[in-house]
Chain A
């Protein structure tokens, strides 16, 4: 991995949805993502993960704070420059169904980015690129001419992945890309994302709630709770040595494929403690929210 080169630097990022009565969906978060790494973002439903991801690829306005990409401030990019940035920064959407145009055939959905950014030499090249993307996410050639509603949930998710990879981006926000998939295809997709990363030095923001998978795929993790980051650090440290009570609770609830363990499971409850103060370094590179 290219030594500590920062591909993204996120400073004091805030998002407030209109009409949310002063409540911030994302409330002053800062972190960096290194070139070539996978940065995992986990946390409870509604804590602001998707909101963060969408701001980073500029699909959602940044209320305040700043984001730099490869040294360039992208907080307020517009027009042509924004378009050029979008080719490099893609997103795999959380809700696969809502994000696929129901009137388009899958072949054309996957080629969307290729068309917008004119990445194919000719029609044969376009078809060829699409077919290869389809195969790499485990879809079959006969699926090319189908419409989104003719797919199962997990198949739709994979269409979204193929579409995001089509523009050969440098950075991809993966918003719960595998939670709709069964374990075996999860493993396939995770292995695929990793392979792409190895081949092209891709950088990921990987949003998920499945901690065991996040730990497995991420180099570093940030844990969010109600719009804030409560803990961040190398995945192994966060996972094996959680410091914040919310992280501890989250880890104690991971279900295991073992009925006996499940019957005897003890979850650590979390009652909202430890939310004051600022992120402080508890051990090397491992930060926790503390007074």
Chain B
């Protein structure tokens, strides 16, 4: 598997200078993105998902410092590239759909033109062909009457429509890597499904690798081959989608899965992980989740847990996985997931052998 990596992020640390102090937003994270796969990045608001992706694009705010790390793309470190070289890569080989659609659209330019320009930037086509492709992309992302709407400005669109225009621009270049930062959050479920199908289609045709950031675990279950769970600037669990959803090992992942409202939820108050997100200025030692974690061991408060290996593809950073740790039972809803999954696996095996 490792030799198929198209992108390898190693030991990346990013911080910001602010009045209140140094914000350690991303702390020593490593992961690979394989060719043609979709890797989902999940975790609570402020945990460093966008900063991680902006580091890959080299589009961090002015008060940012990359303190350490390496980001290899086709064998070359993106962090060492010149600004010029990065400009060519952005929107071409690596395209990003930003979380705030308005900030990536030019408010003074008709949206059709913005898409057509993105097409021409990376493809040698005539203006007419680019316009036609732009219209086609508009209808692919579900904008009705593309010929009329081509000539409108960003403020004349609804929130979800703007988000879809940004998606059209990112797809215009047929990128090798698509980084999609909450691309479907402003969309209703049917439109969401349409966009996900579209990204998947393009992925199948061109072998694009996708980093998909979302907090919607339902969407993750639908799109992801693998899932990385982040907390307070670190990756605390990473594995195949099935492993993370059905056999999660980090208590933070347990909490995340438990706070999804299910169709049956009717109770007065939703389960919310207790406490507030930790400060990233002088973060406490140990597992940053420990203060909110009812399962935390003494060790989790003192010493940063390494990523323990659960399977060839599954890792989690909690001392609970240390062989010396006492046996702990996850919450009921998680045990149900594990049991249901185990049963399904056994049935599958029985079917295959019987």
Contact = CB atoms under 8 A, between A and B. Distances in A.
A184 interface: yes
A35 interface: no
A181 B215 contact: yes
A144 to B, nearest CB: 8
Nearest to B266: A216
Given A97-B100, A97-B103, A187-B270, A253 B190 contact: yes
B263 interface: yes
A187 B272 contact: yes
A46 B161 CA distance: 7
B221 A261 contact: yes
Contacts of B262: 212, 256
Contact of B256 (A179, A184, A190): A184
Contact of A249 (B49, B158, B190, B273): B190
A56 to B, nearest CB: 16
B45 A155 contact: yes
A149 B61 contact: yes
Interface stretch (A37-45, A70-78, A164-172, A277-285): A37-45
A182 interface: yes
Nearest to A142: B20
Contacts, number: 192
Nearest to B215: A182
Contact of B188 (A45, A97, A150): A45
B89 interface: no
B219 to A, nearest CB: 5
Interface string B46-59: 10011100000000
A118 interface: no
A171 to B, nearest CB: 21
Given A184-B256, A270-B190, A255 B221 contact: yes
B306 interface: no
Contacts of A243: none
Interface in A112-143: 138, 140, 142
Contacts of B287: none
A9 B183 CA distance: 35
A4 interface: no
Size category, A interface: 35 or more
Interface string B145-169: 0001000000011111101100000
A213 to B, nearest CB: 6
Given A153-B50, A213-B261, A216-B270, A142 B21 contact: yes
Given A45-B191, A150-B63, A183-B260, A155 B44 contact: no
B125 interface: no
A269 B262 CA distance: 22
Contact of A42 (B100, B187, B188, B279): B188
Nearest to A147: B18
Contacts of A149: 61
B259 A184 contact: yes
A151 to B, nearest CB: 8
B325 interface: no
B245 interface: yes
A183 B102 contact: no
Contacts of A267: 190, 193
B257 interface: yes
B32 interface: no
A44 B45 contact: no
Contacts of A249: 190
A260 interface: yes
Contacts of A184: 44, 255-256, 259, 272-273
B158 to A, nearest CB: 5
Contacts of B164: 45
B220 interface: yes
A8 B159 CA distance: 25
A1 interface: no
A194 B161 CA distance: 30
A95 B102 contact: yes
Given A142-B21, A150-B61, A182-B42, 6 more contacts: A44-B188, A45-B161, A155-B45, A180-B99, A188-B272, A259-B245
A-B residue pairs, 8 tightest by C-beta: A154-B45, A45-B160, A255-B218, A182-B215, A209-B188, A257-B217, A187-B272, A187-B270
12 contacts: A45-B161, A45-B188, A140-B279, A142-B20, A146-B19, A153-B100, A180-B45, A185-B44, A209-B188, A255-B216, A256-B263, A267-B190
